[in-house]
Structure 1
Amino acid sequence: MDAKAWDERYAGTELVWSAEPNRFVAAETGDLPPGRALDLAAGEGRNSIWLAKQGWQVTAVDFSAAALAKGKLLADAQGASVEWITADLVTWTPKAEAYDLVLIAYLHLPEDEMQSVLAKAAHSLAPGGTFLLIGHDLANLTEGVGGPQDPSILHTPDKVSAALPGVNVTRAERVRRPVTVEGEPREAIDTLVRAVRA
């Protein structure tokens, strides 16, 4: 989907996603000392807002202006300060070695574009900074539920890890996320990769 399609999806008054942070984002970043955070493909900003409320200085980037406008309204209502940038991650480059945390949650792109985004994300980490990706795993097609159905844009822990230059991968695995489908409990399968820049 392009930016216009996402703008249309986000144009309604209801949130497309939950207002709560992603469970894995909260679990994996909750023990980090707050610093400068970069949330790539931030959408409506649920993770950005949560991080800001934990004391982080957050920059949220997404190519959907409609999503970021919603995020700003939510942030303002909660007293959370976030810098919002409308940009396409395929062409936008963050500052090098500028962030103590770089987060990518549920960004799915063709492989060459995703590898470029991952490389830029790794280069934007400050020394000692943490990278975290959570996204729909390839195994979700056969063992899970929901998410994109195009295998070419789904993640695997190995593929994400291999595309991160100059970092030490500390966790790379498939994780299960409980979801409800038509009133029934199910599980989605995600890739989770956490890394630290030396």
Structure 2
Amino acid sequence: MTDDIAAGPSPTADGYAGDPAVAAEWDRMYADREQLWSGAPNGALVAEVADLAPGRVLDVGCGEGADAVWLARRGWDVTALEVSGVALERAAGHASDAGVTVRWVHAGLAESGLPPASFDLVSAQYPALLRTPDAAAETALLAAVAPGGLLVLVHHAGMEDHEPEDGRFDPADYVWPSMVAALLGDDWAVEVDEERPRADAPEDGAGAHHTHDVVLRARRLR
């Protein structure tokens, strides 16, 4: 089902590299619904990259594959990473139905072992990246971008300071665009760092109630 281009440091028997508890949690979330997301590509991604010449792209947290399929249809060489095997099965099915090829990686971002500095575009649309003391996820996100390439990171506005919900979701546990922006040094140029109304907000799906985005677009200079 997956075409893993790199093995993480401690893959499980099914080839997954990452925390098994995280994968199990997301598998349960996806298994609870026949379709979790809208099935359309994220509007902020479309707005930011529609005019770019296609190259090699990493889709971080690809979910059910809508962004990956959209990018592949536009000529991008797509590597799509996801912790949930349930989501990857669905994503692979959507890609097959669309007649496009996507390289699927079943792993957490920090554990994926993907080759550094090898993607012309790294897209992370509303990623659920867990914070760690060593900023492993943030570092991996930046390290994946090739010189001259772009990072496009989009998240729900206002969530960074949101109060925990029923003990299930604590924003303090996750990586937000401001944390990634704080790590950008002289070898990066920030092209967009703003809050804006959500482009083409879906009418249904798990994130439909969020109306504004925070968009960070940064180019790696060297």
Shorter-chain TM-score range:
0.7 to 0.9
Counterparts in 2 of 1:168 and 1:115: CA distance versus 1, 3 Å? farther
Report the equivalent of 1:90.
110
| Partner residue in 1 for 2:45 | 25
Greater mean deviation of Cα atoms: 156-165 or 23-32: 156-165
Q: Is the 8 A contact 2:131 2:175 kept in 1?
A: no
Deviation at 1:112, TM superposition (A): 2.6
Q: Distance in 2 between matches of 1:34 and 1:108?
A: 26
Whole-Å Cα distance in 2 between the matches of residues 192 and 18 of structure 1?
20
| 1:168 and 2:189 aligned | yes
| 8 Å contact from structure 2 (residues 160, 172) kept in 1 | no
TM-score normalised over the length of structure 1: 0.83
Deviation digits for residues 79-138 of structure 1 (CA, Å, limit 9, x no counterpart): 111011101223223211111100111113343379322222222212211110011233
1:151 equivalent among 147, 164, 171: 171
Change (3 A) 1:171 1:63: same
CA RMSD of aligned residues (A): 2.6
- Give unmatched runs, 5+ long, in structure 1: 143-147
Partners of 1:149 and 1:25 lie apart in 2 by: 25
Q: What does residue 39 of structure 1 align with? A: 59
Aligned residues: 190
Distance 2:86 2:40 in 1: 19
Q: What fraction of aligned residue pairs are identical, expressed as a percent? A: 33
The question of whether the paired residues in 1 share the 8 Å contact of 2:131 and 2:173 is answered with yes
Kindly indicate whether the alpha-carbon contact (under 8 Å) linking 1:118 and 1:164 is maintained by their aligned counterparts in 2.
no
Q: TM-score, normalization: structure 2? A: 0.75
Provide the secondary structure at the position in 2 that maps to 1:112.
Answer: coil
List alignment gaps of at least 5 residues for structure 2.
1-20, 163-167
Q: Which residue of 1 aligns with 2:144?
A: 124
Task: Report how far residue 163 of structure 1 moved.
Answer: 2.7
Deviation digits for residues 10-39 of structure 1, max 9, x if unmatched? 236732101110000011010110000001
State the Cα distance separating 1:47 from its structure 2 match: 0.7
Q: Which residue in the other structure is 1:76 paired with?
A: 96
When residues 139 and 83 of structure 1 are mapped into structure 2, their CA distance, relative to the original with a 3 A threshold, is closer
Q: Separation in 2 of the partners of 1:160 and 1:74? A: 31
Higher helix proportion (structure 1 or 2) = 1
In the aligned structure 2, how far is the partner of 1:197 from the partner of 1:109?
A: 21
More strand by percentage: 1
CA distance in 1: counterparts of 2:31 and 2:133, whole angstroms: 26
Whether contact under 8 Å (2:196, 2:212) holds in the other structure is yes
* CA displacement at 1:190 relative to structure 2: 2.3
The alignment status of 1:5 with 2:28, answered yes or no, reads no
